[in-house]
Structure 1
């Protein structure tokens, strides 16, 4: 029978430490951030294309800057959580302006956008804080 090669590195060879597995709080905040991001994209599309469109639905392109964040959140990229927590403030500001200027369905969509945006910011900020705190230990 042939010998099976060992999977361990030869002695004396330095081994890079494996990254820490995610703990419960970071898994929860990642799931929240991903769900809220998808919700914000779907809300923007539904709002501008079907529920209360402005113009010919061309404002639906406003969700395009959010799409590159999905792979970064999926891959646990800390940088993505940081820039997304800044980008989401543009959507919060738009929601605040439109909540005060529109009526009916448009105002309800704007208020929902503000709430989802603030929740997304909180999830990203808490995720970054916990990851940095854990890395410092």
Structure 2
């Protein structure tokens, strides 16, 4: 039986994490999120700060931080799915949030699953 390399899943989670991070920054500053009553800085604090919580542990491959990053990514998935359904004009752009959050979720979930497995 072929041995599963958890590094592939870790790199998938990093692509999802940094893709989601950069995408949220670009979306709220330059790419055109719907103008709202809230200032851009407040929107960035609300949307980007939860990603910063598990960042240090994720980069150091801490299994507990990876699990928490998977939990946090589910909130971004729910937000992206709801906005994709409601905002038809910007559906492609909003679906990127769904894609990156799923990459983060499955990457971290499978990394935690296979890194702790005895060989």
TM-score normalised by length of structure 2: 0.83
Stretches of 4+ moved more than 3 A in 1?
Answer: none
Task: Write the distance in 2 (CA, Å) between the matches of 1:70 and 1:24.
Answer: 25
Counterpart residue number, 1:128: 112
Q: Distance in 1 between matches of 2:93 and 2:53?
A: 23
2:70·2:104 contact (CA, 8 Å) conserved in 1?
yes
Determine which structure has the larger helix proportion and give its number. 2
**Which of 19, 29, 35 pairs up with 2:15?**
35
Q: Counterpart of 1:80?
A: 65
Unaligned 5+ runs, structure 2: none
For the pair 1:112 / 2:96, whether they are aligned, the reply is: yes
Equivalent pairs counted in the alignment come to: 112
Higher Rg: 1
Higher relative contact order, chain-length normalized (CA < 8 Å, sep 6+)? 2
Correspondence list, 1:47-126, <5 A: 47-54=27-34, 55=36, 56-57=39-40, 58-61=42-45, 62-105=47-90, 107-126=91-110
What are structure 1's unaligned runs of at least 5 residues? 1-22
